């Protein structure tokens, strides 16, 4: 689901690799869209759960680790992480919208011992300054909502709060590779037009890895998750020299 100001013209050709804003995206428009969507947001999870489980598998065991879930929404990615990897030392869930945070708190509180969950209002492009450092930062289904420079900014903020050796996992709407890509992207563009722009929005990203590289991260693993709603799960390492390089 994306705001109407994002232009799908370039996607009809199947050649565009990142969202192209028809006009400057305003946070107010995004907030209004997702505040309205919050009560029914989890209905789309049936299309996302496989990708969320893939992300949780890449994250691995969470014991002793500090985890930040950016743009947590209703907490579905954070829930997948905890159910797969166990309770982390601390889980901080950040979102701009109180309506989303209310649902995230309700979903996550029963999964964690007292004192390990912190639910905060905050912006992915300007994370709160008192968060500390994290072993793992996740971003679920956020980056395809943003113009490319803003997506890089969100990844750069994620990198900023990583501990040395920390990792970022991002999940986003993507597309199949090869010959299937163009018809898939074209189908989403047509669907957006038929729904008046209220459902689809900017459409699938081609590849997160270049955006992560621009943010100073080192992409390590990329998984394409097929389905009616194709997704990409990207694992990237903290900025710095590659392992074994002094």
174 Cβ neighbours under 8 A, 6+ residues apart: 144, 204, 205, 206, 207, 208, 224, 230, 231, 232
What value does the mean pLDDT of the chain take?
82
Q: Which of 39-48, 96-105, 141-150 has the lowest mean pLDDT?
A: 39-48
CATH C-level class of 6-237: alpha beta
Residue 79: Cβ-neighbour burial (10 angstroms; 0-12, 13-18, 19+) = buried
**Residue 26: per-residue pLDDT:** 55
Cα–Cα separations (whole angstroms), residue 83 to 26, 50, 69, 120, 139: 35, 14, 15, 21, 17
CB 238 within 8 A of CB 220: no
Three-state DSSP state, 130: coil
144-172 average pLDDT score? 94
What's the pLDDT at 34? 67
1-5, 134-138, 205-209: least confidently modelled range:
1-5
Check residue 45 and give its pLDDT: 78
Residue 39 has pLDDT above 90, yes or no: no
Assess whether pLDDT exceeds 60 at residue 55.
yes
Q: Which of 79, 88, 74 is nearest to 110 (CA)?
A: 79
């Amino acid at each position: 689901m994306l705001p109407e100001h994002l232009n799908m013209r370039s996607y009809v050709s199947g050649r565009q690799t990142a969202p192209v804003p028809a006009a400057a995206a305003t946070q107010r428009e995004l907030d209004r869209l997702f505040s309205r969507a919050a009560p029914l947001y989890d209905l789309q999870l049936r299309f996302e759960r496989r990708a969320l489980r893939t992300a949780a598998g890449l994250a691995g065991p969470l014991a002793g680790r500090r985890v930040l879930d950016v743009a947590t929404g209703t907490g579905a990615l954070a829930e997948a992480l905890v159910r797969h990897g166990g309770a982390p030392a601390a889980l901080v869930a950040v979102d701009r919208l109180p309506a989303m945070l209310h649902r995230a708190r309700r979903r996550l509180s029963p999964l964690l011992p007292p004192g390990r969950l912190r639910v905060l209002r905050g912006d992915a492009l300007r994370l709160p300054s008192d968060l500390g450092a994290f072993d793992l930062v996740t971003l679920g289904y956020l980056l395809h909502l943003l113009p490319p420079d803003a997506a890089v900014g969100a990844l750069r903020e994620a990198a900023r709060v990583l501990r040395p050796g920390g990792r970022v996992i991002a999940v986003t709407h993507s597309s199949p590779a090869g010959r299937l890509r163009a018809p898939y992207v074209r189908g989403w563009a047509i669907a957006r037009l038929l729904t008046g722009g209220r459902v689809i929005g900017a459409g699938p990203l081609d590849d997160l890895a270049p955006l992560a590289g621009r943010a100073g991260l080192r992409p390590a693993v990329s998984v394409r998750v097929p389905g009616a709603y194709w997704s990409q799960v990207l694992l990237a390492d903290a900025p710095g020299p590659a392992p074994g390089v002094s």
